[in-house]
Amino acid sequence: MPTLGPKSNRLLAALSAVELKRLRSHLELVELPLGLAVYESGRVLEHLYFPVNSIVSLLYVMEDGASAEIAVVGNEGVVGISLFMGGESTPSRAVVQSAGQAYRLPARMMQVEFNRGGSLQHLLLRYTQSLITQMAQTAVCNRHHSVDQQLCRWLLLSLDRLSGTDLVMTQELIANMLGVRREGVTAAAGKLQKAGVINYRRGHISVLDRRKLEKLSCECYAVVRRECDRLSDYEGLARIFAKPSAR
Amino acid sequence: MPTLGPKSNRLLAALSAVELKRLRSHLELVELPLGLAVYESGRVLEHLYFPVNSIVSLLYVMEDGASAEIAVVGNEGVVGISLFMGGESTPSRAVVQSAGQAYRLPARMMQVEFNRGGSLQHLLLRYTQSLITQMAQTAVCNRHHSVDQQLCRWLLLSLDRLSGTDLVMTQELIANMLGVRREGVTAAAGKLQKAGVINYRRGHISVLDRRKLEKLSCECYAVVRRECDRLSDYEGLARIFAKPSAR
DNA sequence: GCACATAGGTACGGTGCCGGACAGAAAGGG
DNA sequence: CCCTTTCTGTCCGGCACCGTACCTATGTGC
């Protein structure tokens, strides 16, 4: 696999040349293995992570061990927003959901650049708003929609952050993300397979009919997607990454 | 009732004297009647609202009319974060849940001050992070906890933002906030009343035993409360200011 | 005081998800 | 190759919540 440049993360790609130049020497490409906890609840972060081909889930784990994903971050975003929001830590965990690479930036470097008030600040805040939308929609979805619908939403959100049509993911893990029982995922996935929407084989999902998947999903996916697109339509970024096929 | 000064909102109170002076002439005290939509989904905002003795709920309304509250804002915060986050609008609604007053600030004035990068910026971002925590916790709570527990959480969050122990609120409205049926709230409130925790009479709730209410609530209330307190610790903020910055 | 609207209580079948328990099936390592 | 581990499919009782319907209080305005 060829090394991916910083431009593979859409936030970094949208930075001005001057800013990217200032940060470049501090950006380090790191491997994120499946299951790695990029940060733990309450711990003070030392780096921001800009995923390139990896996916990171933000989840809350409750006292009794039950968990739920509240948002998912791919190459459109960054992990560690509390570093520039000023809180330094959050009560959530960040776990690698799909292995891959990410650019890592020391917190201090980001803070210096953030405080200049340039495009980095603007980009990070705008991205944070789209993350907020995702969390809010997740809250509503958890309240009102069936596991079947939520599985569709989840698959679509993950798919958008990967290149192909395949996911490496067990039902057990999906269940942890959605905060439901594994059996519930088995049932939902079984229906999708029977309907010819996906193909499932032991830790590996192939999406066969994306359009049908979108139809079976609740509106939440579309809302998040629309808002995410709207908020990442900054000048330049839109031009660079407007590949209709991939989106 | 005596007129409440800008210091009645904790964000405004934490501003430096210089900043407050610059903003003061633009701050306008307005009445927020029960049920007023401070903003509608997707609309571009023109003002920020800093509640003093009112409470504003942020809710998402779905295509089929079902709704759910994702966060609640009182005098510890501000309504209209999308104005400084850069998105200008959000897919949510903001509805007055408890009538009262708020200070209103034109968006333009806030943006000018925000871009100075002073304490207003830090305060608003820090507050936004606590709002994010609240939304995330709501998402998890919607997934895992019973209506009974959620009602307790909701009562406590509302109580924290009011002075006394009484709420003016119908079960119908609470049900809309929690995204459940009115009957579910009736049942839950009935249990609380029988347990001597609250007293209910036609649109009016008195909390008799706050400690018991906290015990019956899920952990979500405590998590949100703790994080909200931590993030509004302004000595901590002063510490951040002491750090060298690029300005 | 009466009419009316609004708020709150109760009932009942339906169902989606949970809890636990197990069995078969597919990788992977020695 | 077998054995082990991991992943997936299935079954069952139980319960919280839903949808619907209807009825009773309580307050408001004429």
State, as a whole number of angstroms, the distance between the CA of A242 and the C1' of C17: 41
Q: pLDDT for A78-129, tens place per residue?
A: 999 999 999 888 999 999 999 999 999 999 999 999 999 989 999 999 999 9
Answer yes or no: are the C-beta atoms of A105 and A26 closer than 8 Å: yes
Indicate the pLDDT class of residue A6, thresholds 50, 70 and 90.
confident
pLDDT of A247 strictly over 90:
no
State, as a whole number of angstroms, the distance between the CA of B19 and the C1' of C16: 54
Residue B236 is predicted with a pLDDT of 52
Indicate the pLDDT class of residue A233, thresholds 50, 70 and 90.
confident
| Nearest CA-CA partner of A220 in A128, A125, A151 | A151
Residue A163 is predicted with a pLDDT of 85
User: Do the chains contact at A142 and B139, CB–CB below 8 Å?
Assistant: yes
Torsion of CA B216, B217, B219, B225, to 10 degrees: -130
* Sequential pLDDT tens for chain B (247 residues): 456 787 899 999 999 999 999 999 999 999 999 999 999 998 999 999 999 999 999 999 999 989 999 999 999 999 999 999 998 889 999 999 999 999 999 999 999 999 999 899 999 999 999 999 999 999 999 999 999 999 999 999 999 999 889 999 999 999 999 999 999 999 999 999 999 999 999 999 999 999 999 999 999 999 999 999 999 875 555 555 544 443 3
Residue percentage of chain A with pLDDT more than 70: 93
Answer yes or no: are the C-beta atoms of A55 and A83 closer than 8 Å: no
Residue A2 is classified by DSSP as P
Residue B3 is predicted with a pLDDT of 67
Q: Residue B129 corresponds to which tokens in the numbers above?
A: 């992070």
Amino acid at A236: G
User: Do the chains contact at A132 and B137, CB–CB below 8 Å?
Assistant: no
Assign B186 to helix, strand or coil. Answer: helix
Which positions of strand C lie within 7 Å of protein CB atoms?
A: 6-12, 16-21, 26-27
Residue B240 is predicted with a pLDDT of 52
Task: Compute the mean pLDDT over every residue in chain A, rounded to the nearest whole number.
Answer: 91
Residue A169 is predicted with a pLDDT of 95
Residue A240 is predicted with a pLDDT of 39
pTM of the complete model: 0.92
Nucleotide nearest to A149 (CA to C1'): C16
Q: Residue A149 corresponds to which tokens in the numbers above?
A: 């619908």
Q: Chain A, 196-225: which CBs lie within 7 Å of strand D? A: 200, 202-203
DSSP string covering A49-61, please?
EEESS-EEEEEEE
Nucleotide nearest to A170 (CA to C1'): D7
Residue B84 is predicted with a pLDDT of 96
| A28 or B235: which leads in pLDDT | A28
Nucleotide nearest to B203 (CA to C1'): C7
β-sheet with B93-98: strand ranges across: B37-39, B93-98, B55-61, B67-73
Residue A236 is classified by DSSP as T
State, as a whole number of angstroms, the distance between the CA of A183 and the C1' of C23: 14
The CA distances from residue A207 to A156, A159, A214, B41, in Å, are 9, 9, 11, 33
Nearest to A60 among B66, B137, B237 (CB): B137
In chain B, how long is the greatest CA-to-CA distance? Answer: 59
Residue with tokens 């997934």: B143
Residue A114 is predicted with a pLDDT of 96
Q: State which residue of chain A sits closest to B132, comparing Cα positions.
A: A132
User: Do the chains contact at A144 and B66, CB–CB below 8 Å?
Assistant: yes
Beta strands in B108-165 (DSSP E): none
Q: Residue B239 corresponds to which tokens in the numbers above?
A: 């510490």
Residue A7 is predicted with a pLDDT of 81
Residue A96 is predicted with a pLDDT of 96
State, as a whole number of angstroms, the distance between the CA of A202 and the C1' of C27: 9
Distance (Å, rounded) from C-alpha A100 to C-alpha A52? 7
Distance (Å, rounded) from C-alpha B143 to C-alpha B128? 23
Residue A245 is predicted with a pLDDT of 41
